[in-house]
Amino acid sequence: MPKVTKGKGNKKPASIEKEEPIITVVDKTVKKGIKRKASSSVGKNVKKVPSINEEATTGTTQEVEDEEIQLPRTMTLKTSDRLSTKGEKATLKLASWNLNGIRAWLKGDGLKYIEQEQPDMICFQELKCDKEKIPNEATPTGYKSYWLSGDTAGYSGVGLLTKIDPIEVKFGIGVPEHDNEGRVITAEYEKFYFVVSYIPNSGRKLVRLEYRQEFNEAFRNYLKELDKKKPVIWCGDLNVSHQSIDLANAKSNTKTAGYTQEERDDFTKILADGFIDSFRHLYPEQRDAYTFWSYFRSARDRNIGWRLDYFIISSRLQENLCDVIHQTGVYGSDHCPIVLLLSV
């Protein structure tokens, strides 16, 4: 894998590109929604909540115009004093956030979140921007930045901000056919590897499921090799809801990207290789704990979502695990930030 040179820095394929939200927020006021015509193939007044890919690729099924309403825009951060199993306080805070476009994120309260959260490291997915065009202000004072973009302009892309100097930073997983979309950054630190990832989406009608499975296998082998050397912290938008409690409408989404049996089985294989889903380890029965919501049909307000964002850790870091937080009170993307607290 080639080493990273310091840099600054992706659009989903047309088949899964997200629509603009029905409502727009300006100065804490939600303005009247965009009027959308009914689908020619679906009748009006359909109550079924669409799947993640239907929401990401189609308009609403009926003509909609939202009334002007007020929504709170105050950023609310959750905190935790939970101790590790060794009774130790957290000494390391890591965050992950799918930005759904870094330039739009910068125009919102993205930097304000970093200022308030103060993570030691924070990683990003879906930059949708060439690394050479990422604005300087995307790197706050006190952080070093590493950006990776793919060959296709405005598509995919991941980034890392870190207060702690890494020993080495690498792009990709060393497999050329998987490294052209800008999906993985690995930073080596003294006690662990930190792997930032944006796992491929299988797409509408599962057009990329076969490729996704090939990527999954190559990536699984990559993590196993890293784990032989030192513990791994792997995070990002993994584009899978592993269990039925990880999405709001499991029964209607078994053939939908993100919840197919193939994707879930591949994720299970990775965990079986000596890794832990940190959130589910701490909260095995917690429901309605989502990190992604479609912009359509007020899904976030109704908490009709998916858990797609994770911190996966080597099992030998289990005793260092303090807590995992979903910062659902932070807006600026269709995903919320997630936070991992460790005692290391």
Which residues are part of the catalytic machinery? 198, 237, 335
Is 151 a known ligand-binding residue?
no
Cα separation, 243 vs 220, whole angstroms: 19
Of 151, 157, 238, 173, whose CA–CA distance to 201 is shortest? 238
Identity of the residue numbered 91? T
Question: Does 334 count as an annotated binding residue?
Answer: yes
Contacts of 245 (CB under 8 A, 6+ apart): 285, 286, 287, 289
User: Has 126 been labeled as part of a binding site?
Assistant: yes
Instruction: Report the distance separating Cα 95 and Cα 129, nearest Å.
Output: 20
Neighbouring C-beta atoms of residue 26, cutoff 10 Å: 7
Distance (Å, rounded) from C-alpha 51 to C-alpha 55? 6
Whether 178 has a binding-site annotation, put simply, is no
Could you tell me which residues are annotated as the binding site? 98, 126, 237, 239, 334-335
Could you tell me which residues are annotated as the binding site for Mg(2+)? 98, 126, 237, 239, 334-335
